[in-house]
Structure 1
Amino acid sequence: MTAISSFAAGTAVEGVYAVRRKERRLSRQGRPFLALTLADATGAVPAVIFDEADFFGEQFEEGDRVRVTGRVTERDGRVSLTVGHLRPAADEGVAADLLPRSHRDPDELFGFVLHLADEVADPGLRRVLDALTGDDDLATAWRTMPCTRSGHHAYMGGLVEHTVGVTAVAQALTTWHPRLDSDLLLAGALVHDIGHARAFRLGATFELTDEGRLLGHVAIGHEIVGDAARRAGLDATRRAELLHVIDWHHGPPPGQAPGAAGPEALALWRANQLETGVKARLEGPGPVD
């Protein structure tokens, strides 16, 4: 199998790739062709099928795995693939093998999550954190899922990597501004994106669950943390403060003005912006979800 990162103009390639995008188009002469985006764990590449486009188009859908043979071309310094033949490959390998992964060890990063949780002294907040990190299914997804499909941390392990990054920035803010409620800010930073654990599922690509598509990760995270807080017996006021911080991590929720944010909510909002913005810039231009 030829990894996408090793594609070179003029070479013939064969391999199993995930279909991230599939679009039927018409040429200037009115002939149909397929415009695709194919991906593996090393990257993504635009591809086209000119011959028998409608026949091949019936063989697969977005999110499927396909075995492809074709030839790499280059234009304006960017490679693309002209597909000569394609067939479904659902029975070849494991779908997650085609997904990009963090260069950092997710288990090690989750160890940092546990270490940072130990910095929270408030016993009620600690019970909430212990309940969430001690949930085996949730912890597995926390270590596995991305933060976005195509923006920052769009790879397996991206969620836990982002979690640690934002919490480290938040921890620095508590040192510089000691009047911040450090327990509240750190707890909020650790669980602010936990909704991604249920918003995504792993297929040949990162796919939104029905819950993720309909509700979004902020609403899902609000539910996960709120339920854990109730089970942990967290005081109602403290629970509201924690959910306030989480709900603000992308800025003002609908119907609220920027001035309505508490200092910890504002700190988390800006810490999240900083970490995601820098990461997105390092990874190249693209949407930040």
Structure 2
Amino acid sequence: MRSIRIVGEKATALDDNGAGGPPLAALTAGTPLSGVYACTRKDLLVARNGRPYLAVELADRSGRITARAFRDAASLAANFERGDLVQVEGQVTLFRGELVAELQSIHRVEPEAVELARVLPHTRRDLGELDGFFEYLAREITDPPLAALVRAFVDDDEFREQFREAPCTRDGHHAYVGGLLEHTVAVATLAHELCQVHPRLDRSLLLAAALLHDVGKTREFQLGGEITLTREGELIGHLALGQRLVEDRARALPALDDARLDALIHCLLTHHGPELVPGRRFRSAEAAALHRLNQLDAAVHSALLRPAA
């Protein structure tokens, strides 16, 4: 299982044509519904006649719809959980002026067979282009040991796949598939430009820190019907997970001395603020710069998403 964990290991496999389905926003009353969607709510309720029925909310990138099943409700409910990706079959009807899906079947599916970008929110940026920027910025690091450390991540195909898929947050800035890569490239680009304005900054240290500051998020989240935390994400968090990942790769690089590695780790641990380190203050200009650049990109991104006043 990948570190950006795809939930639903015991799910039913999809048919070749099972990963599709009309966008929920395009549904109209009287049309059939067949496809894979995220289950964002699940309740087994009791109708007025005393019989149980299943009520769920289905979601994709385009919108949401309430869905119900009155036959075999308990049996169908055993086939999936909230947060799963589910294959559904049913009919769209109009109930009290609202579109509702009346379900004949619903079951969990293997997320690996689903294009997550169709179900979950996704970056509008081209991931291939962002990958290219990430590699370009890595090549701008001129300090050989730090360059080798960053290259250990760049050349790791499994990590790069996880990094491309990961969101940056669950419900904050860049909370979508590809959000982590988008945010990282933005912060590293700002760092690159800041070094032109302040040439006394340690360019290699700041660029390495900017490119690696959120690598722990590849282990913090899992993707299924929703973005949720992994066990490691709940118990440890991305700062400590990132430190682990960086130190694991650093062990294979004897040229990267302890002082240089410590300076990098200090930047990573303080990019949300210095409260977690001794003295509760930044020990380098690079750490202070990374903190502010991280804040800047997050704040600007969030402001651009807010409706205009």
Contact kept in structure 2, 1:169 and 1:271, CA below 8 Å: yes
Asked whether 1:123 is paired with 2:144, we answer yes
Alpha carbons of structure 1 residues 238 and 132: separation in structure 2 relative to 1, 3 Å = same
Q: Which runs of 5+ in 1 are unaligned?
A: none
Q: Relative to structure 2, which stretch is displaced further, 137-146 or 14-23? A: 14-23
The secondary structure found in structure 2 opposite 1:231 is: coil
Query: Match of 2:22?
Result: 2
Contact kept in structure 2, 1:166 and 1:275, CA below 8 Å: yes
Candidates 55, 59, 82, aligned match of 2:100: 82
Query: Match of 1:57?
Result: 77
Cα deviation code 1:240-275 (max 9, x no counterpart): 010010111222343656534532112111111111
Amino acid at match of 2:261: R
Cα deviation code 1:135-166 (max 9, x no counterpart): 22112212222222333223322221111011
Q: Relative to structure 2, which stretch is displaced further, 205-214 or 132-141? A: 205-214
Q: How far off is 1:68 after superposition?
A: 5.0
Q: Relative to structure 2, which stretch is displaced further, 15-24 or 49-58? A: 49-58
Alpha carbons of structure 1 residues 73 and 276: separation in structure 2 relative to 1, 3 Å = farther
Q: How far off is 1:17 after superposition?
A: 0.8
Query: Match of 2:38?
Result: 18
Distance 1:81 1:284 in 2: 28
TM-score under structure 1 normalisation?
0.81
Cα deviation code 1:181-230 (max 9, x no counterpart): 22111110001111122223443444433323322222111111112223
Q: Which runs of 5+ in 2 are unaligned?
A: 1-20
TM-align CA RMSD: 3.3
Candidates 49, 59, 74, aligned match of 1:39: 59
Query: Match of 2:192?
Result: 171
Amino acid at match of 1:163: T
Query: Match of 1:230?
Result: 251
How many equivalent pairs are there? 279
Distance 1:154 1:238 in 2: 32
The secondary structure found in structure 1 opposite 2:41 is: strand
Distance 1:174 1:29 in 2: 70
Query: Match of 2:271?
Result: 249
Q: Relative to structure 2, which stretch is displaced further, 87-96 or 27-36? A: 27-36
The secondary structure found in structure 1 opposite 2:59 is: strand
Percent identity reads: 38
Q: How far off is 1:29 after superposition?
A: 12
Query: Match of 1:183?
Result: 204
